[in-house]
């Protein structure tokens, strides 16, 4: 792993500008850029969101679709350029929809992040700041998601939170991206 910070986590609420911030951060790195998409276009709403993100990124990105084996996708693309993973929330949602225990998958992801030579920018959501959900599955998702965020933030070199489109640095403490 290079001595430059190279694992970046970008968190934030819905429509907070997380993906645009992650793209700005990925663009600091020279060379090829690879977009690792965890979304599956299961309905019209999701298809539309995926299209919006693709249009904004523009050309210059190679897209890899990998809804489940994220650790494998990172291992396979290491050395080929900066990777942007969008997003961990959908990845976790896919794992839990399959009935997988996410704990070991998150640990494996963190191990692989610790061995990368090329930069990785990961997008996630903050989703534990509302009223306790009435739905038990939503509560369990919220728990697993919070633990995932903590685990990835721990191994990340830098962590940003997007709020109303503005970057707030959580790790290490500093000004602007």
Q: Which residues are catalytic?
A: 53
- Residues 122, 8: Cα–Cα separation, whole Å: 6
Pick the closest to residue 87 from 169, 23, 174 (CA basis): 23
Q: What angle do CA 12, 169, 94 make, to 5 degrees?
A: 30
By CB under 8 A, tell whether 83 contacts its own copies. no
Q: Determine whether the annotation assigns residue 140 to a binding site.
A: no
For residue 19, give the nearest of 112, 96, 88 by alpha carbon.
Answer: 88
- Which is nearer to its own copies, 31 or 104 (by Cβ)? 104
Q: Where are the alpha helices (DSSP H) in 37-135?
A: 44-57, 70-77, 88-97, 102-113
Size of the site for its own copies (CB under 8 A): 47
- Give the contact letters, 38-77, x = binds to its own copies (CB under 8 A), - = no: -------x--------------------------------
- Binding flag, residue 103, its own copies (CB under 8 A): no
Rg (CA), the chain: 15
Cβ neighbours of 108 (radius 10 Å): 14
Q: Closest separation between CB of residue 108 and its own copies, Å?
A: 19
Beta bridge partners of 143: none
Q: Which of 122, 127, 157, 177 binds its own copies (CB under 8 A)?
A: 127
Binding site for its own copies (CB under 8 A): 9, 11-17, 45, 124, 126-136, 138-139, 141-143, 145-147, 149-154, 159, 161, 163-166, 168, 170-171, 173, 175-176
Where is the binding site for GTP, in residues? 12-19, 37-39, 54-57, 65, 86
């Amino acid at each position: 792993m290079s001595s430059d910070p190279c694992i970046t986590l970008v968190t934030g609420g819905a429509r907070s500008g997380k993906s645009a911030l992650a793209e700005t951060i990925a663009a600091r790195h020279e060379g090829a850029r690879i977009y690792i998409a965890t979304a599956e276009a299961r309905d019209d709403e999701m298809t539309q969101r995926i299209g919006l993100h693709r249009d904004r990124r523009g050309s210059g990105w190679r897209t890899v679709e990998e809804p489940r084996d994220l650790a494998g996708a990172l291992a396979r693309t290491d050395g080929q350029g900066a990777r942007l993973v969008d997003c961990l929330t959908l990845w976790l949602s896919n794992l839990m929809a399959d009935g997988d225990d996410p704990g070991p998958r998150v640990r494996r992801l963190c191990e692989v992040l610790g061995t990368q030579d090329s930069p990785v920018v990961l997008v996630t959501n903050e989703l534990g700041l509302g009223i306790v959900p009435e739905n038990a599955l939503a509560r369990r998702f919220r728990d697993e998601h919070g633990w995932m965020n903590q685990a990835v933030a721990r191994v990340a070199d830098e962590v940003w939170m997007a709020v109303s489109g503005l970057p707030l640095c959580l790790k290490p403490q500093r000004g602007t991206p």
